[in-house]
Amino acid sequence: MTTEANAPLRTPVAASRLPAVGTTIFTVMSALAQEHRAVNLGQGFPDFDCDPRLLSATEQALRSGLNQYPPMAGVPALREAVAAKIEALYGHAYDAGGEITITAGATQAILSAILAIVHPGDEVIVLEPAYDSYEPGIVLAGGTPVHVALQPGSFRPDFDRIAAALTTRTRAILVNTPHNPSATVWSAAEMQRLADLLRPTDVFVIADEVYEHMVYDGARHESVARHPELAARSFVVSSFGKTYHVTGWKVGTVAAPAPLTAEFRKVHQFNVFTVNTPMQHALAAYMADPRPYLELPDFYQRKRDLFRAGLEATRLKPLPSAGTYFQCVDYSAASELSEVDFCQWLTREIGVAAIPLSVFYRDGREQRIARFCFAKQDATLRLALERLARL
Ligand SMILES: Cc1ncc(COP(=O)(O)O)c(C=O)c1O
């Protein structure tokens, strides 16, 4: 007889909600980089610290007793600062009370937006190459990701293909500009094309704009918030992690019309409920000075140019990098390896970690392109370039 005393311990098997998901390539490459003491230009994060003024503001918040639950939607001063910034930069006045929510980074914002609007059986258009969190979010909501490739070579949106992918089941489209991994930036004309295409539909837009302050060569960021027709159907997502060099803080924002925000907050409320209080106060205080984000394009453009100039001396061909802190290269003159193999070889043998572009596609297509992150100290970039010159 099986009794409590002699019963084997029994762990039920979980039928996976995400059977296709494994450890992300970013984790794999970072571990490989550490193992081989490679310069890690793979995962997208700075190897330098944030502004000491932001740290002082955080310390002040921590020491002033701002350590209990904040309001569910976020600290009012931060929501007001975000609304004011969006209005100043993009001309759309969101109501800080009912249209701005502070989130635990952009990843949670995107997942919560998807869970708020996608029903089982709905289709969601994902433009590939795509950031890796989109697809699992859609699958968790019971939706079907519909992949549409950006144009090969230029990585610009292909509106004929997007139009062909729209069906009566399409619930949303995910748009990411500036774009990870290709470093392209949507133009005003492309935003207009999107608005024209969606006008007769009830399709929502989830706009991933985490790199909004990294647009180079005098171009401007075309936020969907600039475009009233698009803003009316959009969740606009951003991340303080990218803008203020604090990727580990995981604080982001969502701006959306009041009825969409109300649905978003229903999910947010029972997902994270609130985001840590002292960082929100610190960010609100720090945002009073717009210079850190207004000066970010110059700061990163200089690093981009340093890195690109160095690549000239290698067998890697840099593709255009109009925004984000990523630089893709065509390595076909240097190697015939597949993208995953090349990036692993580069990490092990040359001592520089990169990310294969193929992992951003569901079908893992090969284009002999690898992605580097240049959000690094100049000395780090120079060391990487020295090693890459040996290729
Ligand atoms: C396109 C894109 N969206 C979202 C995120 C996630 O942002 P967060 O760290 O705020 O969750 C990243 C981070 O790499 C990203 O590249």
Q: pLDDT tens digits, residue range 246-255?
A: 999 999 999 9
Atom of ligand 1 nearest to the CA of 239: 10
Atom in ligand 1 nearest the alpha carbon of residue 176: 1
Give the closest residue (by CA) to ligand 1 atom 14.
Answer: 44
Measured CA to CA, the distance from residue 286 to residue 70 in angstroms comes to 18
> What's the CA-to-centroid distance between 245 and ligand 1, angstroms?
12
Confidence of residue 25 (pLDDT cuts 50, 70, 90): confident
- The alpha carbon of 150 and the centre of ligand 1 are apart by a number of angstroms equal to 19
Give me ligand 1 centre to Cα 65, in Å.
30
CB-CB contact of 197 with 175 (8 Å): no
Distance 32 CA to ligand 1 centre (A): 21
Instruction: List helix spans (H) across 51-187.
Output: 52-63, 76-90, 105-117, 134-140, 159-165
Q: Looking at the DSSP assignment, which residues form a beta bridge with residue 356? A: 370
Rounded distance from Cα 210 to ligand 1 centre (Å) = 6
d(C-alpha 306, C-alpha 191), whole Å: 31
Task: Please state the rounded mean pLDDT for residues 361-379.
Answer: 97
Give DSSP secondary structure letters for 275-338.
--HHHHHHHHHHTT--HHHHSHHHHHHHHHHHHHHHHTTSS-EEPP--BTTEEEEE-TTT--S-
Of the pLDDT bands very low, low, confident and very high (cuts 50, 70, 90), residue 4 is confident
Mutate to test the pocket of ligand 1, among 107, 179, 251, 373 (most ligand atoms within 8 A of CB): 107
DSSP state letters, 353-374: E-EEGGGGSTT----SEEEEE-
Give the CA distances from residue 175 to residues 115, 137, 224, in Å, rounded to whole numbers and listed in that order.
17, 15, 9
Confidence of residue 26 (pLDDT cuts 50, 70, 90): confident
Cα angle 157, 158, 159 (rounded to 5 degrees) comes to 105
**Look-up of token digits 């502070």:** 102
Is residue 75's pLDDT more than 80? Answer: yes
What's the gap in Å between 248 CA and the centre of ligand 1?
11
- Dihedral of alpha carbons 91, 92, 95, 100, sign: negative
* Residue 39 CA to ligand 1 centre (angstroms): 21
| Four-point Cα dihedral 62, 64, 68, 72, nearest 10 | -90
Q: What is the DSSP string of 235-291?
A: EEEEEHHHHTT-GGG--EEEE--HHHHHHHHHHHHTTTSS--HHHHHHHHHHTT--H
Residue type, position 127, single letter: L
- Which residues form ligand 1's pocket by a CB distance below 6 Å? 44, 105-107, 131, 176, 180, 208, 210, 239, 241, 247, 250, 252
* Per-chain mean pLDDT for the chain: 97
pLDDT band at residue 5 using 50, 70 and 90 as cut-offs: confident
What pLDDT, in 10s, does the model give residues 138-167? 999 999 999 999 999 999 999 999 999 999
- Ligand 1: distance of its center to the CA of 238 in Å? 8
- Rounded Cα gap, residues 83 and 244, in angstroms: 17
What pLDDT, on the 0 to 100 scale, is given for residue 306?
Answer: 98
Mean pLDDT of 16-40: 92
Q: Per residue in 36-74, pLDDT tens?
A: 999 999 989 999 999 999 999 999 999 999 999 999 999
Q: What is the pLDDT of residues 221-237, one digit of tens each?
A: 999 999 999 999 999 99
**Secondary structure (3-state) at 144:** strand
Ligand 1 atom showing the smallest separation from residue 109 Cα = 11
Counting atoms of ligand 1 from 1, which one is nearest the CA of 324?
16
Please give the backbone phi and psi of residue 155, each rounded to the nearest 5 degrees, phi first.
Answer: 60, 30
Ligand 1 pocket test target in 127, 210, 235, 243 with most atoms within 8 Å of CB: 210
Question: Measured in angstroms, how far is the CA atom of residue 200 from the centroid of ligand 1?
Answer: 30
Provide the angle, in degrees to the nearest 10, between the axes of the packed helices 258-269 and 105-117.
110
Helix (H, G, I), strand (E, B) or coil at 35: helix
The total of other beta-carbon atoms located within 10 Å of residue 45's CB is 18
Q: How far apart are the CA of 129 and the centre of ligand 1, in A?
A: 14
> Which tokens is 120 given?
């089982």
133 CA from centroid of ligand 1 (Å):
9
- CA–CA separation, 268 and 110 (whole Å): 11
Long-range CB pairs of 154-163 (<8 Å, 24+ gap) are: 154/184, 155/129, 155/179, 155/182, 155/184, 156/184, 156/190, 157/127, 157/186, 157/190, 157/193, 157/194, 159/190, 159/193, 159/194, 159/197, 162/125, 162/127, 162/194, 162/197, 163/197
Mean pLDDT, rounded, for 196-223: 98
Mean pLDDT on 110-139: 98
The pTM is what?
A: 0.97
Among the atoms of ligand 1, which is closest to the Cα of residue 208?
A: 3
pLDDT confidence bin for 23, thresholds 50/70/90: confident
Q: How many CB atoms lie within 10 A of CB 381?
A: 22
Element (DSSP H or E) covering residue 148: strand 144-149
Q: Is the pLDDT of residue 9 over 80?
A: yes
Q: Which of 103, 111, 112, 180 to mutate to test the pocket of ligand 1 (most atoms within 8 A of CB)?
A: 180
Find where tokens 């969409």 sit.
Answer: 260
Q: Which three-class secondary structure state does DSSP give residue 29?
A: helix
Q: What is the pLDDT of residue 200?
A: 98
H-helix or E-strand spanning residue 381: helix 378-388
For residue 164, the tally of other CB atoms under 10 A from its CB is 10
- Measured from the CA of 252, which atom of ligand 1 is nearest? 10
Q: By alpha-carbon position, which residue is closest to atom 7 of ligand 1?
A: 106
CA angle 232, 194, 250 (to 5 degrees): 65
